[in-house]
Every structure is written in C-alpha cells, then in structure tokens.
Chains A and B, each alone.
Chain A
Amino acid sequence: MSASLATSERNDTAAELDVGRLVEPERIHRRVFTDPDVFELEMDSIFGRSWIYVGHESQIPQPGDYFTTQVGRQPVVMTRHTDGQIYVLENRCPHKGALVCPERSGHAKRFMCMYHGWRFDGDGSLVSVPVHSGYDGTSFDPKDPGNGMKRLPRVKNHRGFVFASLSADIPDFDAWAGEGLRGLDNMIDRAPDGSVEVVGDCYRTVQNSNWKIFVDNMSDGMHTSFVHHQMARAAQRTLEKFKGQGRPGGLDVAAMLAGEPDQMAKVDLVAHPNGHFDMAAFAPELKGPEADQYKAALIARHGKEGAEVVLQRNYHNVLMFPTIVMQASLQQMRVIRPLSVDKTLLEIWAFRLKGAPESFLRRAVTGANLANSPSNVVAADDFEAYFRVHAGLKGPQSEWISLHREANRDIPVGTSLKGHSGNSEVCMRNMYKAWHAYMTAQ
C-alpha cells in the first residue's frame, strides 16, 4: 500500500507528502485532521485493517433479528440466523449491489432484495433467484448458496460485544485488544449476572470535525475546567438552590468539573499498545441500601476479593482504538463512525448491568440525557471546541499541533504507559504512534 499521498490541498507548499512524516513523537501535522486523502487512507489502513465494533448481541436477541451499521465505509448488517449464531454480512446484494436491509434494525424470516427479488438467509446464503433459467449457460450459478451476501472475514463476539474486520489478515482479537480490554471487561464484570444489554436504540449525533479531534478530547484532562466551567458552575449553583434534589448521574456529575485548571491531575491515565487507553473514573459511586445489595450480589458472583478488584477498577473514558469510546462507569458507549474528513457520526448506547438495581440504569439514562444526547449540555461545549480546532487547522500556514504536555515523564507499566498526571497528553501520543503504524504498514 502506498504511504505517499498526492496533495488535495492546493494551497499547501509541498505537492506531495509522505504520510509517515505526519506524526512525530511530540507533534502532529495538521493534515492528519484536514486532508481528505489522509481520511481515505485511514478508511483502508485503519478501519479496513483492525477490529471494528459492530454492535451488541442484545440488539438482535431472536433468530431473524438484524441491525445495520457500517465498518469503515462498508455498510454491514449484523444478523442472528436460525442456527442462533451471529453473522456480520456486507449489506449489499451480490446482483447489482443494492442495500438488502434498508432499516437500521428489524426482523425478517429471510432477506429479500427489493430490486429484483433475490432472497438470502440470515447467514447470507443465497436462497433463490427469480427466473433463474436466465443464468443457464452463464458463469453465474444461482443455485450456489455461496453466491449470497458476503460475510466479513473476521468476527469476534467478546462477552456479547460483536467486533468484525474487513480484512482476514489481522492479529487475533485478544492480541489486538490486550490491556485495552480491561475497561470494557470491567463494565461487564460489574453486572451481578455477568452480562449487560443495550437500553433501547442509540443516539446518533454528528460532529462537524475530524474523528480524531474527538478521540484526543477523551483523554484531555486540561480542557475540563475551561470548556465545562459554565455548565459545571450552573450545576453546582442549582444543586445548592434545590437542596437534596437532582437525579444521580446528572447535575452532580456535571458539577464535578467546576474546579481549578489542574482538577484532573489526580485521575490515572494509562495508554496501552495499539492506541487504546483508559482514564480512571471520578464520578461518585451510588450509595444507599440498593448499593449495598448490589455489592452483596457482586460478592456472590466474584467472591469477596474478586468483587473488590472489580469495584476498585473503575473507568471513566475507555478508548478501544479506533471505534469505541466507553464511559464505563456511567454504562455508556460512544461508537465512532467517521463519515468524511470533517464529519463524524457517533452512535451512543447505554447499557443495563444485568442483575444490578434499577437505580443504576436510571443513573446511566440521566447521564446520557445530560451528557451525550443530541440536546446535551456537556458535549455541546466540547463540540464547539472540536469545530474550532478543525476550522483553525484548515489554514495551511502553520503546520503542527502540540502533544508535548508531560512528554518527558511517562511511566512504563508493563507494556503500557501511565501518564505522569491526569493532565498528560500520553494517550494522544500513544494513539498517534498506533495511527502511524497502521498508516505506514505495508
């Protein structure tokens, strides 16, 4: 694969740019965010060659259920076939290429393409082609089930979370995820019944900025006291005014961001191989009789020591590069679906921890409404920052952005790197190292 890009930005001084030179250990070239050619290469080299999150098995509980989304630029459909198995198929008719499943989710005994009536099973097999005699003597066999909707070559169901790859030739899921899996696992381990399920449908919001500007923000401790100051103060004042009122997971969490510029310094940031990271949780744990019952249920499942380990680990933001940013402690997951170099779709899901009290779910819902919905009051201010970064980077005159903060102080922990403080840009540096490796791999 060519790592060399012809420029599509006429104002740039260099006519050609080596993608390998866009990333340095402590700074990034602006074209990483703004160049449509870089975006196209990302779709092939990153979204086409790593484990992309598709959806959760609880979205398709019954045989015949399906859910559609995209893996990179590829429309896909996740199905549950009559054999009970989950398949991830290209959502594309082998005849002329029409989308076979047009809805975001649904149920069908068999799929029928609306254009010329070809029919497929839930595992993609071709079932029938109308007037198949028309293919007699041609090189196409309408009776061969293998001529149906193509399966993605790699699919992994990790404890209900379904990932897939457009390329067969990538590392195994466990090797790819490594320590980056511990945030996702912790959310599942926190369910007394050992599994989670989605709460209804997801939100879908679009940021008018490059997808990595959002990812960078997820480990950016230094922005919180600036970008969220007004909302945090409004939440704080309101809670004082309405003493004892306010739903858990809402204003109480927003109010936590009302501190000094280094308010996140004490929060652990750990960067893992392949671009993943996690940030420790800072939202308050639920208290009261329900929380005590919950702890007892966790001890029943994991044992006393095991339950302690599960509860000690607690994560706010978790990146599984390149598609998942979870807010594990708040039972939410934002899935990144880049649409173009300056448009990024997020699917935002909330999860029920099976066996946990209803108050846990209510807190997740309150948090999602206030921080992640299409009318939220937290990311509303982040989105403004992303927009301004992208708009500022369009100018060709200055080329680099800075990743220097605490760069000389990273602390190795096994194969991972811990930031010197929660203000460190260690996770950004780590992500661009992985980005560079994907983009320059032959």
Chain B
Amino acid sequence: MLTTSHKLRLSRSEVEDFLFRQAEYIDSRDYESWLSLFTPDALYWIPVRPTDTDPETQLSFMYDDLPTMVARCERLLAFGTAGQQPITRSSHVVSNVRVNDATSNGELVVHSRFHVTQFRRDVLKSYAGAYTHHLVATDEGVKIRLQRVDLIDCDGIHDTILQIYL
C-alpha cells in the first residue's frame, strides 16, 4: 500500500460515510474489511487517562499496532475463545463529525463523538466518548493511520473487559 503525497481533502459527508462504514464493519463482525481500512503502520489507541500523551511509556486501555489488531480480531473470530462464549454484540452511533484542515504530512484529522452499546451474556454495557481519526490517501483509497478513542470513563473502574474494538 502506497501513501500518496497529495493532501487528502474530503467533505463532511464523505468522512461520515467512511466512519459509518468502519463502525458497521465492527457491528457486523466483518473484521477483515475493518482491518483493510488501516495503513500498515496504523495505531489504535485508547488512553487510560484523559491527560496521557505517551502510550509507549504509559499504560493504555489499548495501544495496538497492526499485528496486534490482526491477532485481536483472530481471537474474536476463533472457534472456542472463552471470553467470546457467548459473543459480544455491538451497536455504534457516530456523530458530531468535524473535519479539520489537512496537516502538513497530508493527514486529514477528523473529530467525532460515539456511543457504543455492547451486549454480552445478559449484560448491556455502554461506552461513550470522542474519536480522533488521522486519515490518509493511499493508492487503495482512504485509510486510517491513527484512531484515538477517548472514553469518558477511561480512568474509572471497569467491571467488563472491553473485547471488541470501539
């Protein structure tokens, strides 16, 4: 996959279509399509505190590179994974999309809000917060280089393990 050098420009509705599609892939457990939305050097980061700046030396909820994302998705789909008996179902709502100007390295920075409801074994669980997406143009279309997920309860007590991507 080659990143093209030109600045990525997308309208809000084009960005919305993209974000809705990535959310739909998770909700329909189509992880192969979902993973194809990311660049090879992509990072998926859920900080554990609102103030965290360095995921290399601070704990995170998730700080996945692409290999980790692939392995995580394989675990979710593997036959017999203990934590997915029963499976987790999810439903995303993505909203409040704001498109920034492209940054100097050609990335388009997009802010939005999400509300994800998950259901597993009689328990309904809600996750809410803000997305920051760094999108780039490649010869295979628009891809995500960074997905940052800021949960409003990131530093709270968690009585459910978050198993699927937000």
A residues lining the B interface (CB < 8 Å): 199-206, 208, 227, 229-231, 233-235, 237-239, 241-242, 245-247, 250-251, 254, 343, 345, 350, 358, 361-362, 365-366, 368-370, 373-377, 379-385
Contacts and interface: CB of A to CB of B under 8 A. Distances in A.
Secondary structure type dominating chain A contacts: helix
B71 A235 contact: yes
A247 B71 contact: no
Contacts of B74: 230, 233-234, 237-238
B162 interface: yes
B56 A362 contact: yes
Contacts of A361: 57
B124 interface: no
Interface string B54-73: 01111111110111101110
Contacts of B157: 204-206, 345
Nearest to B60: A369
Given A200-B49, A203-B48, A362-B57, A238 B71 contact: yes
B71 A251 contact: yes
Given A230-B81, A365-B59, A384-B82, A201 B155 contact: yes
28 contacts: A199-B58, A199-B59, A200-B49, A200-B58, A205-B158, A229-B80, A233-B78, A234-B71, A237-B71, A238-B74, A242-B66, A242-B67, A245-B65, A245-B67, A246-B67, A362-B57, A365-B57, A368-B59, A369-B59, A374-B48, A374-B61, A374-B161, A377-B75, A380-B161, A381-B81, A381-B82, A383-B161, A384-B85
Given A377-B75, A379-B161, A250 B68 contact: yes
B32 interface: no
Nearest to A242: B67
A68 to B, nearest CB: 14
Given A204-B158, A206-B159, A377-B71, 17 more contacts: A202-B59, A206-B158, A230-B81, A234-B78, A237-B71, A239-B67, A242-B67, A361-B57, A362-B56, A365-B57, A365-B59, A368-B59, A369-B59, A375-B62, A377-B75, A380-B161, A381-B82
B144 interface: no
B163 A230 contact: no
Interface of B: 46, 48-49, 52, 55-63, 65-68, 70-72, 74-75, 78-83, 85, 155-159, 161-163
